[in-house]
Amino acid sequence: MNVEFSPELEAFRREVAEFFATAPTPAIREAGRKTTSVFAPFDQCMAWHQILYQKGWAAPHWPKEYGGTGWSVEQRFIFAEEYRKADLPPLLPQSLGMVGPLLIDLGTEEQKAKYLPPILKGEDFWAQGYSEPGSGSDLASLSCRAEADGDDYIINGSKIWTTYAHHANRMFMLVRTSTDGKKQAGITFLLLDRMDYPGMEVRPIYGLDGFPEQCEVFFDNVRVPQSGRVGEENQGWSVAKHLLKHERGGGNAASPTLMRYLERAREAAGQTPSPFGGMLADDPVFQRDFGELEADVISLSHLEKLAISGHEIARDPAFPSMNKTINSELIQRASVMMSRVSGVGGLARQLEALRVGSNVEPQGSEFDLITMPLYLNSRATTIYAGSNEVQRDLIARSLAAGA
Ligand SMILES: Cc1cc2nc3c(=O)[nH]c(=O)nc-3n(C[C@H](O)[C@H](O)[C@H](O)COP(=O)(O)OP(=O)(O)OC[C@H]3O[C@@H](n4cnc5c(N)ncnc54)[C@H](O)[C@@H]3O)c2cc1C
């Protein structure tokens, strides 16, 4: 792949940078700078999604016929780079990156017509109801039950760690429709049109960083239409796994975000005195550690460019697990590097100053404000979307099968 950009691509870069410099509102910019998770502040994130939709840029990774941009690999990468340079809030992954691509691949024509346009426009936001208490890594053991009743299912049970369920207006979920045979054989994939069905209750969970990002969702005789089923009854395990490929493989590259974290760390290190004299950025030990991390991020960036260019590596069954493992560990390492630069400056708990629109002045710099919540939040990157221990198992099994 050519890494020297042509004049046309440089013109495209200027067009994107110009749009990013003018289109976002001040609140959207503030939300981007204060994002300390994969999940940006909800209201500003959805407002920005709608602006991108108006421009035709909400879903660069979708096929053009469904509203994608039809950009080349280079254009997609340039877009992602400029996006992060402008510190804009990342769009939420569950709708555009998971259920949208799943429906494009496996949905019926009715489901596509009903659900894809509001996802693209940023009118709908979907929560992911997979995990249950006791069924995380061993997801196929899930027990939230759906019993057929006429044209409906009646759901009883609960889900946990459902990210942003308190903001969602729709939810995709796995339910148990049979206990006969293998546990994988009795699972069904359902689309729920509402989060306020009678008998459905969403309770937020506060994370280590002090924010309610995940939720518990309870179902007490919740009646939902069977028309929301994707695939056949009891065949939902293969649908669920197909979605996980999108979740782990990633329609969006992680390396531009990592590069931006490193840039911010490097800038801050240039203004932070080292205990050994001079600035931290000039300290040889710091430079060595920073350089190692930067080299690993650059390697990931090459891997991601190969993947979005359709290189055969992305078709390797182990690729989604490999990609997830590498980028989740790099996010954690970047957050450690940022905390190292902030030092005690990052220790103050400043939840109010972090709120978008707050009039509370942060103690220290904006960099200090975000480092500790980012560090705490990123402890979860090696757990969600399937823990890294389990991903390593999957990689090993895939290699053994191919040997
Ligand atoms: C921030 C966050 C957001 C999340 N968002 C969502 C969401 O939106 N929707 C959703 O459905 N779920 C979500 N999850 C749940 C997530 O998918 C699970 O937490 C994850 O799959 C691990 O399951 P568990 O928490 O039950 O841990 P367990 O499965 O109990 O694992 C505990 C430990 O044992 C290890 N372990 C388990 N099995 C094996 C094995 N076979 N080999 C080696 N080690 C093993 C694990 O690696 C882990 O260290 C989220 C989780 C987090 C933390």
Distance set, CA 97 to CA 127, 138, 382 (Å): 12, 23, 19
Q: What tens digit of pLDDT does each residue of 55-109 get?
A: 999 999 999 999 999 999 889 989 998 998 999 999 999 999 999 999 999 999 9
Is the pLDDT at 305 greater than 90? The verdict is no
Q: What tens digit of pLDDT does each residue of 319-343 get?
A: 989 999 999 999 999 999 999 999 9
What's the pTM value of the predicted model, to 2 decimals?
0.94
Average pLDDT, the chain: 94
Is the pLDDT at 4 greater than 80? The verdict is no
Is the pLDDT at 281 greater than 80? The verdict is yes
Which position among 132, 247, 294, 304 bears the catalytic label? 247
> Atom 39, ligand 1: which residue's CA is nearest?
390
* Per-residue pLDDT at 251: 58
**Ligand 1 mean position, distance from CA 250 (Å):** 18
* Per-residue pLDDT at 253: 74
Is the pLDDT at 231 greater than 70? The verdict is yes
Q: What tens digit of pLDDT does each residue of 111-147 get?
A: 999 999 999 999 999 999 999 999 999 999 999 999 9
Is the pLDDT at 403 greater than 80? The verdict is no
Question: Is 143's C-beta closer than 6 angstroms to any atom of ligand 1?
Answer: no
**Ligand 1 mean position, distance from CA 387 (Å):** 5
Are 100 and 58 within 8 A, CB to CB? no
Hey, which of 92, 243, 377, 383 would you mutate to test ligand 1's pocket, going by the most ligand atoms within 8 Å of its Cβ? 383
Domains of the chain: 7-90 (no CATH), 126-234 (2.40.110.10), 253-402 (1.20.140.10)
**Catalytic residue at 247?**
yes
**Ligand 1 mean position, distance from CA 136 (Å):** 5
Residues 57-62: contacts with CB under 8 Å, at least 24 apart? 57/19, 58/91, 58/96, 58/120, 58/121, 58/122, 59/96, 59/100, 59/120, 61/96, 61/97, 61/101, 61/251, 61/252, 61/308, 62/96, 62/100, 62/101, 62/104, 62/120, 62/251
Hey, which of 158, 161, 388 would you mutate to test ligand 1's pocket, going by the most ligand atoms within 8 Å of its Cβ? 161
> Atom 12, ligand 1: which residue's CA is nearest?
131
**Ligand 1 mean position, distance from CA 383 (Å):** 5
> Can you tell me the mean pLDDT for 262-280?
95
Question: Is 137's C-beta closer than 6 angstroms to any atom of ligand 1?
Answer: yes
> Atom 31, ligand 1: which residue's CA is nearest?
137
**Ligand 1 mean position, distance from CA 384 (Å):** 6
> Which two tokens mark 207?
């994370």
Residue 2's pLDDT band, with cuts at 50, 70 and 90, is: very low
Question: Is 128's C-beta closer than 6 angstroms to any atom of ligand 1?
Answer: yes
